Structure formats: structure tokens, C-alpha cells
Amino acid sequence: AHIRKATQGAVNLQNCHPFVRELWGRYWVFAHNGDLKDFRPRLHGNFHPVGGTDSEHAFCWLMQELAKSHADVPSVDELTLTLRELAPRIARHGTFNFLLSNGQALWAHASTNLWSIERQHPFTLAQLADEDLSMDFAQHTTPDDRVAVVVTAPLTTNETWVPFAPGELRVFEGGTRRG
């Protein structure tokens, strides 16, 4: 019994974010913040969970449906349209805040709380919200850098974070919001 108690609290690496799968010769990464109830659609083909989380199951289903919807590598715009159709089908089952990327674009979907910010030259000093600490991004960037950050709560107090609307899907490419 003592050994069982010790392993119940252990973290299984197979259940840890981000999850990774290959589709159309690219690696896709996925992270989910939320809780899905009774979302266990049938999975077939190449996408099956390794662990037991609702997050990985949702990711495998998204990958399966993207593969079914597009025979070859679609554009970012086409992928965005497809994800706008698929995300609500999962979100009906609970909180479905997620990040999905194929290395070209980053898609972020909010069921509840998500915020984003875009940073570009000239970079400024950022004051952390939960620490008496600031970071001067100008010391760690170049004029060509552009960064998009997506979080569940704003990280800084002196920058303008843009909240997501419930059910909103945004796409970022090259650190810039596209939709």
C-alpha cells in the first residue's frame, strides 16, 4: 500500500504537455488548459493517445480530422478555417483553451481566459505582475525580432494585453496576429 501511494502522485511523462505528432511531414505540438467531460470520439488511422489525458485525446482527434479534411499540406488560412469548425465540437465538452503549432503558425483557442500580446521593436521594459521584477527586452532582442505571447493571465502590468472572447481562435505567424 505504501508503494502504491507513492506512485499515485508520480508524474507520467506520457501525460505531460506539449504533445507532439507528425502530419504532412511536419511536427505539430499541442498544449491544452482545461477539462473535457465525455470527449472520447473514435480514433482511427495514425493518431492515438500514448497517455490517458483528455488533452492528448483531443489533440489526436484534431490531427485525425485535419488529415481527413486536407489531402495535402493546406495553407495557414485553410487550416485556420478548418480549426474554426473543429474547435467548437470539442469545446462543447468543457473548457478547451489550447495552443497548437506546426512550426509555421501558432493557433490559440479560448474557452475561458486567454490573453495575447505582440512585442516588436522598439522593445521596452516589462514589469512582471506577480514579482517585483522587470525585464528590459531591448537588451535581449534585435530590431528584426517580433514576438507573440499567449497566456491564461497577463504577465506584466505595464503592457496592453488583449483578451480573447470565449470561443475565439487566433492565429499568429512570425510573431504577428493574422486572425
Q: What is the pLDDT of residues 15-50, one digit of tens each?
A: 888 999 999 999 999 999 999 999 999 998 899 999
* Segment holding 76, helix H or strand E: helix 76-91
Fold of the CATH domain 14-109+165-177: Glutamine Phosphoribosylpyrophosphate, subunit 1, domain 1 (3.60.20)
- Distance of alpha carbon 105 from alpha carbon 138, whole angstroms: 24
Range 108-115 average pLDDT:
96
Check if the beta carbon of residue 115 is closer than 8 Å to that of residue 153: yes
Distance between CA atoms of residues 108 and 32, nearest Å: 10
Tell me, what's the pLDDT at 2? 43
pLDDT recorded at residue 124: 78
Question: Global pTM?
Answer: 0.87
DSSP-assigned letter for residue 164: P
CA distance 68 to 45: 10
Domain range list for the chain: 14-109+165-177, 115-151
pLDDT band at 1 (very low <50, low <70, confident <90, very high): very low
Strands 115-120 and 106-109, bridge-based pairing: unpaired
pLDDT for 11 beyond 60: yes
Is the pLDDT assigned to residue 8 strictly greater than 70? Answer: no
Q: Is the pLDDT of residue 3 over 60?
A: no
Per residue in 48-83, pLDDT tens? 999 999 999 999 999 999 999 999 999 999 999 999
Residue 9 has a pLDDT of 54
